[in-house]
Structure 1
């Protein structure tokens, strides 16, 4: 009976955790004050200092080893987990229930620990104040304002393209290694921190993922490991997206968990970087977002602005599409994207991966 209480307690505590996290979504001020701008910056810096010096991803190793151990556990104890459903004799049933109780207790205790650690290490950031409130930026905008900012971005993108590529019809070449870009990226945060102190970055911990090929087939450019605080990039990507991708993952390290908010921070840090390639990467990344939104609002206005963009900019966008084309719509990508979309919705992002309008709202109100 005593062991049954352990099982009941482990299951009950897991349920309480899940309910508690749902309730915390209603208190973003509390999370913002006591976690996101309270203890989290110390947790994040400690993880980056502790693991940033390693030349490989410790988090990827943890994922692989942990995944293999979990798979082994499920294989070894699979019959004990389902035995009470199969057995008929009283003696067999009692023995099977004892074994099943032990395994489910282990399962619920492990889930409790992992869920609690995930939230303490990073996950509470999903429940913080929206970025527009943190940075005191409006979240509404008109089509006229969107047009104005789009025109500004077109002018900036064209100017940067001319500085980096003499031929208007050719793409800007991104030839630096990811490791070189890792070294350059933090200075973008240093320059913007004077305007937005919340973006003070500090010790870097940015790495090429050891799981690059699985990431590619799953359709991911990079990710943050919330357990170790390491930012990861897809090592196969070497195009205009790479600089802004690195800045995006670094934004997650600062506690901005939502994808749309990390995209916005990547743009403003990239645009304020002293390196022209970072500026160009951020500029045409932002321009693409604005043009997509403009097309949804007013296709005729989009067609009016489109001829003003250098053909070489379109070539850079095409390079990214060409990179992903061989992996589009494979079963691995479909399953992983559906899973990640569900994960985002479960973590206070009701629109899932469809976050265009909020990114554009932040961009328009920042640059107008």
Structure 2
């Protein structure tokens, strides 16, 4: 139980001392994560996927073993029950400790915005409309580069490795502008064999703190995969807040010349932005969505149909579990925190407009 107690104390301390959490994220975390993630990074399959299977099998055998011990024991049933329960407590304690030092403490670090030129402010509906229209225009141009006859639900066998390598390259390039993202080891994203199960749970990807792997759902439409990769790599870099990881993903994708990666980042940003606009001005959102090219509209329909067919008990339970997990880790808005990346997109837009205005005034 000692590791669990230590982890609890570390979490509480980090919660009240973000400066310490930030220092840990920049020193202790990189060293530990590189050490833990080195061996898994050497193979192309997801180690964490099979680790989960082994852990579940072990727990099943463990429970069966101790249930049998309790049944066949006559005078020591209480002792055997105690041993079985304490064994599970000890394992959970160790898992909690490992999660804390390899991921949990990063939830309390400084915001990614503190390392950028952007500022968290309040934005108008007009600015949100402008953002959505700008993203819509960019999506149309990039989608045209992919070809009118390209079906983005079809994925060639070599696509995953190609995008996995380029997603790492995208983070490396972005780290030149934002050195806080620099790592000596970026573990290349891994395809998940049980991707159908991830789709049923409504999961595009996940970052495993115990192997430092970015696990990607390869069953979903291919145009979502590059953004999912860079999102999980942002978590590897120590930024656990979902809105920040989404924003980092967008920045990484949109600095690439490869059309599919660029389109993936724009699609991610537009999806969150237009969803927010629909809540505050549905008529304007409808106008912008109607102005999209036919191919972009087709992609959006395919995306909605793909995830829609997996809506059900599993996805609802998964969403609820994720909501509880996020709220327990300093993300008070739970699953709604993903949409907060729109505020970061608006911050970038305002900064860009401000820079453009300053440049024009100097010219004049």
For 2:311, the equivalent position in structure 1 comes to 328
Change (3 A) 1:184 1:356: closer
Give matches, 1:288-299, under 5 Å: 288-299=271-282
Contact kept? 2:107, 2:330, Cα under 8 Å: yes
Alignment counterpart, residue 331 of structure 2, candidates 329, 344, 349: 349
TM-score normalised by L of structure 1: 0.85
**C-alpha deviation, 1:279, in angstroms:** 0.6
**C-alpha deviation, 1:184, in angstroms:** 1.9
**C-alpha deviation, 1:151, in angstroms:** 2.4
Query: 1:138-174 CA deviation, whole Å, 9 max, x = no partner?
Result: 222222222222222122112112222247xx86576
Once residues 332 and 291 of structure 1 are traced to their aligned partners in structure 2, the CA distance between those partners, rounded to angstroms, is: 26
Once residues 39 and 157 of structure 1 are traced to their aligned partners in structure 2, the CA distance between those partners, rounded to angstroms, is: 40
Once residues 277 and 195 of structure 1 are traced to their aligned partners in structure 2, the CA distance between those partners, rounded to angstroms, is: 22
- Whether 1:109 and 2:114 are equivalent positions in the alignment is no
SS at match of 2:206: strand
Alignment counterpart, residue 130 of structure 1, candidates 111, 129, 133: 111
Q: Which moved more, 1:15-24 or 1:106-115?
A: 15-24
CA RMSD of aligned residues (A): 2.5
Change (3 A) 1:296 1:277: same
For 1:157, the equivalent position in structure 2 comes to 139
For 2:62, the equivalent position in structure 1 comes to 73
**C-alpha deviation, 1:349, in angstroms:** 1.4
Once residues 303 and 213 of structure 1 are traced to their aligned partners in structure 2, the CA distance between those partners, rounded to angstroms, is: 32
Alignment counterpart, residue 142 of structure 1, candidates 109, 124, 136: 124
**C-alpha deviation, 1:195, in angstroms:** 1.7
- Whether 1:54 and 2:43 are equivalent positions in the alignment is yes
- Whether 1:18 and 2:8 are equivalent positions in the alignment is yes
Contact kept? 2:6, 2:97, Cα under 8 Å: no
**C-alpha deviation, 1:116, in angstroms:** 0.7
Alignment counterpart, residue 29 of structure 2, candidates 33, 40, 50: 40
For 1:3, the equivalent position in structure 2 comes to none
- Whether 1:27 and 2:9 are equivalent positions in the alignment is no
SS at match of 1:246: helix
**C-alpha deviation, 1:298, in angstroms:** 2.1
Once residues 325 and 300 of structure 1 are traced to their aligned partners in structure 2, the CA distance between those partners, rounded to angstroms, is: 23
Once residues 163 and 132 of structure 2 are traced to their aligned partners in structure 1, the CA distance between those partners, rounded to angstroms, is: 27
**C-alpha deviation, 1:79, in angstroms:** 7.0
Query: 1:119-149 CA deviation, whole Å, 9 max, x = no partner?
Result: 1122211222222234353222222222222
Query: 1:83-108 CA deviation, whole Å, 9 max, x = no partner?
Result: 9xxxxxxx97x733322332233222
For 1:193, the equivalent position in structure 2 comes to 175
Contact kept? 2:36, 2:210, Cα under 8 Å: no
Once residues 357 and 114 of structure 1 are traced to their aligned partners in structure 2, the CA distance between those partners, rounded to angstroms, is: 30
Gaps spanning 5+ residues in structure 2: where? Answer: 351-364
Change (3 A) 1:135 1:75: farther
- Whether 1:213 and 2:234 are equivalent positions in the alignment is no
Contact kept? 2:153, 2:221, Cα under 8 Å: no
Change (3 A) 1:97 1:13: farther
SS at match of 1:224: strand
For 1:271, the equivalent position in structure 2 comes to 254
TM-score normalised by L of structure 2: 0.86
Give matches, 1:241-252, under 5 Å: 241-252=224-235
Query: 1:281-340 CA deviation, whole Å, 9 max, x = no partner?
Result: 1112211211111222222332343333212112111222222232211x2222222222
Number of residue equivalences: 345
Change (3 A) 1:17 1:304: same
Contact kept? 2:189, 2:215, Cα under 8 Å: yes
Alignment counterpart, residue 53 of structure 2, candidates 35, 59, 64: 64
